[in-house]
Amino acid sequence: MNRLSVLTAAAALLTSPALADGHATGDAEAGEAAFRQCISCHVVVDDAGETLAGRNARTGPNLWGIHGRLIGSVDDFRYSDGLTALMDMGMEWDEEAFVGYVQDPTGWIREVAGDNSLRGAMSFRVRSEEDALNLYAYLVSLGGPEAEEAESE
């Protein structure tokens, strides 16, 4: 591999939309645009009460700090039996789980839990894996408790 190829590859890695900690591989900027399709049901509000994205929608849970959060664990939100079962299993949101869920909520829950009787309540499906990856990158870019802990250390 010649030097120019190595430098080009290194520059591409350094400027890629992936976060340094490897939590998200999508393009957060594209995810911000894609989030417009989510705001009728979801909001991103930090612990201080500041709305970072969306409107005051309450159909779906607050998506702030989703990375590493236990599935189905937002206080005072009534989850589907499917997401409650995954919470009971101790599953956490990561990129793979998020992407699978938003593309086929009920199908993903059934596959992961191994129970075809479970359902998800989210009827919307993100059409492409790229859009799902971008949405996740955007949500992770907004921060959360895990990011705030890392900054304070």
Q: For residue 146, what pLDDT band results from cuts at 50, 70 and 90?
A: low
Residue bearing the bigger pLDDT, 147 or 30: 30
| Residue pLDDT, tens place only, 5-50 | 333 333 333 333 334 344 789 999 999 999 999 999 999 999 999 9
Identify whether the C-beta of residue 64 lies closer than 8 Å to the C-beta of residue 144: yes
Among 103, 107, 138, 139, CA closest to 124: 103
What is the average per-residue pLDDT within 61-81?
A: 93
Instruction: Catalogue the E-assigned strands of 50-138.
Output: 51-54
Domains defined for the chain, CATH in brackets: 3-152 (1.10.760.10)
Lowest model confidence (mean pLDDT) among 23-32, 50-59, 142-151? 142-151
Please state, in angstroms and as integers, the Cα–Cα distance from residue 81 to each residue in 5, 27, 44, 65, following that order: 51, 32, 23, 22
